[in-house]
Amino acid sequence: MPWSLDAWQLTARMRTAFSIRIRGVVQGVGFRPFVYRLARAHSLAGWVINAEAGVEVHVEGTEEELQAFIHELETKPPPAAQITWLDVQVEEPEGLSEFTIRESLRRDRPTVRISPDLPVCNACLAELFDPHDRRYLYPYINCTNCGPRYTVILGLPYDRPFTTMNRWPLDEYCAAEYHDPANRRFHAQPVACPACGPHYELRVDAETVRGDHASVRRTAELLVAGKIVAIKGLGGYHLACDARNSAAVRALRERKYRKEKPFALMVQNLEAARELVELSSEAEQALIAVARPIVLAPARAQLPGVAPDCDELGVMLPYTPLHHLLFDGASYDALVMTSGNLSEEPIASRNEEVAQRLHTLADFFLIHNRKIQTRVDDSVVRTFEGRERTLRRSRGFAPFPIDLGIPVEQILACGGELKNVFCLTKDHYAVLSQHIGDLENLETLRSFEETLDHMKRFFRISPVAVAYDLHPRYLSTRLALSMEGIEKIGVQHHHAHIASCMAENRLDGKVIGVALDGTGYGTDGKIWGGEFLVCDYADFERRFHFRYVPLAGGDTAVRQVWRSALAYLLDAGCDTGRVPNVLAERVPAKARGVVEKMIARRINTVDTSSCGRLFDAVAAILGIRLEANYEGQAAMELEALADSFVARDIEPYPFDVTGGEIDFRETIRHLAKDFENTTLASARFHETLARVIFEICGRIQTSDGLNRVCLSGGVFQNFTLLRSTVDLLRRAGFEVFLHARVPPNDGGLCLGQAAIANRRLQSGLCRQ
């Protein structure tokens, strides 16, 4: 935290004054009441006010008390506050006699860095389960330290009339708390009690169970009985069932058309989490952090059907009062909590929409009458090298801005197609949207446009430029190109990945960029995905890439991964019809023949250097998986196998580098003979890739004198590969930069697009 040291260069005086400016997430998180109570505890006079860029405090008193005040301000802020900057100046005392909370002067200005939604705090939890409390078992209990934020905000300033709570006028009890500066609920905008606030009810066919407690109790009974219940939460609906009831889990999969993709779990508490997964101390920290994300960790227990063929489980802790009520006294300790959508559509958020869309999925609906203004999915993180690594940045993180450390133009960056996230930039911040989803249908596109509209208003951003991916068929690209009166800046996919990693690590100048992923449109019209760049923000050179193979059937090949195997085997000159060979045994000769002909005659084929397809090919050649039910499934299973192979020195397969082409044909020829020991082969394949990265980085280091390596792209969600790659590079003295706050997958693209567009705008590169 950058500090102004002026404060400490004090001459000893009996009574003095400090003027303190604080930035970060300090509004809507109980900061002013905290300052008020702290000032009073230290017998200080003065005031606190919400200002344009944060919070301003004026305090007067003895130097000793003032310094103690500053110390506590810095070390014990409210749990949800994030102080990014704090400045203390010495002032002349005004002779004030008491401490007050002043009303904000400029109510029409955007004063708020909008807080993400916050988990229920311990003080509220204690009241929730206290039979003598007014809000006993009331699922909407909250205070300035906790509760909904981003999902209920309609506009600014962050005041009750501009939240979805505006339908419920405060009763006398809540109003008294709301207006009392000494109260924990002072200016808690979503404050409510059973007498004046919203309510839950359970819909069962034609019948309705009313009453918060009755509907929650009945829901818990239904879950115990193995039923699937749609539960309206903070940012959308969850579909829930008892995670230990395999029949219920199976039914949920069938109804959701989700054959094998892992389900996330909500566990009762940390002890239940420890039983299900192996938790490092960092992973525990991530679990209990205010964002309350889904944390991926090695599985300890088998829950049939929850995460088939995965060696990890995704667990999260309860974060709303309702979640705590659902676990209270229940016989289950883990619930499947999957977002209430059919496939990759955005999470359902409206009651009428839910009735329509979820009736095939759930038997029962636990709903409430407060509107969800903004849909927000659960976030997903994993830990690596002692740090939290975001894989999906959504609830709890969005829309907290990322400080880029440099001034930026106002830009909209549209992101990619899969796992879409967009961002807006202003001042020295990038504000990333929540996870929008796969932009493949009108439903997601609508969610994109609505969120964009809100965020432009909330942050008062009018972009002068829009950055987009070069893929002509992406909906995000089409949307960008249809915008009028705004500069349009196309950014190559893998350049954006590397720039994203650079921006989050605040790098400038040239770096070695290793971008490995499934699909990205190249400047030659081919599908790239195994790319080694030398780049800065302004531009990139593609120095090395994986050898192109012709893939038959485009997107079909992403599901039918055996097609990738066929492409690589044919390219390597292997006899694909010869037995023993997994493809020859398990793919019908006719289908194989058709695809082989397509490849030979180049009918409906695309040339690709995709690392994702190479993983698919290897998984299929080894017989681990011939068809994938979700993106990246084959690669995940390959990783799980490699991970289970414990050996000190794993021998890589041979590979060639000719000119700028990295050639895996020799690797494939070896792999094709190794299908009887898939564990060893998987480990050797991972080692091969790590060695390829190491070798190519070494070559670029020699030719260009560069020493900084950025690793990005969805393939680096594979931590087995990441670990060996980072080890090799670091041991050779490279400086290696990874993602942490932004996902390495396409969810992080927008940040790189924005960084590139910003540099091009600032250096006049866009204007011809």
Interface residues with Zn ion (CB under 5 A) are: 121, 124, 143, 145-146, 171, 173-174, 193, 195-196
Q: Which tokens sit at 627?
A: 């068809």
- Minimal distance, residue 172 CB to Zn ion, in Å: 8
- Minimal distance, residue 51 CB to Zn ion, in Å: 25
Q: If residue 669 lies in a helix (H) or strand (E), which one and from where to where?
A: helix 665-671
Q: Which is nearer to Zn ion, 121 or 549 (CB)?
A: 121
- Minimal distance, residue 174 CB to Zn ion, in Å: 3
Q: Which is nearer to Zn ion, 81 or 228 (CB)?
A: 81
- Minimal distance, residue 143 CB to Zn ion, in Å: 3
Could you tell me which of 32, 24, 84, 76 has the C-alpha nearest to residue 57?
32
Q: Which is nearer to Zn ion, 165 or 738 (CB)?
A: 165
- Minimal distance, residue 326 CB to Zn ion, in Å: 18
Q: Which is nearer to Zn ion, 171 or 487 (CB)?
A: 171
Q: Which is nearer to Zn ion, 185 or 592 (CB)?
A: 185
Could you tell me which of 273, 248, 50 has the C-alpha nearest to residue 144?
50
- How are beta strands 237-242 and 334-339 bridged, if at all? antiparallel
Rounded CA separation 426/506 (Å) = 16
Spacing of C-alpha 561 from chain mean position: 27
Q: Which is nearer to Zn ion, 170 or 534 (CB)?
A: 170
Contact status, residue 557 vs residue 594, Cβ threshold 8 Å: no
Cα angle 74, 80, 82; round to 5: 45
> Per DSSP, what are the bridge partners of residue 85?
23
- Minimal distance, residue 179 CB to Zn ion, in Å: 13
Q: Which is nearer to Zn ion, 121 or 306 (CB)?
A: 121
- E strands within 269-333? 294-298, 312-316
Q: What are phi and psi of 293, to 5 degrees?
A: -80, 170
Report CA dihedral (694, 700, 701, 706) to the nearest 10 degrees: -120
CB atoms within 10 A of CB 647: 10
Rounded CA separation 137/717 (Å) = 40
Could you tell me which of 663, 585, 569 has the C-alpha nearest to residue 618?
569
Q: Which tokens sit at 619?
A: 């998984």
Q: Which is nearer to Zn ion, 145 or 189 (CB)?
A: 145
- Minimal distance, residue 136 CB to Zn ion, in Å: 13
- Minimal distance, residue 264 CB to Zn ion, in Å: 25
Instruction: Give helix then strand counts, H and E, for the chain.
Output: 23, 31
- Minimal distance, residue 366 CB to Zn ion, in Å: 22
Q: Which tokens sit at 702?
A: 């020699």
Q: Which is nearer to Zn ion, 124 or 572 (CB)?
A: 124
The answer for residues whose C-beta is within 8 angstroms of residue 732's C-beta and 6 or more apart is 694, 698
- E strands within 167-236? 200-204, 207-210, 229-232
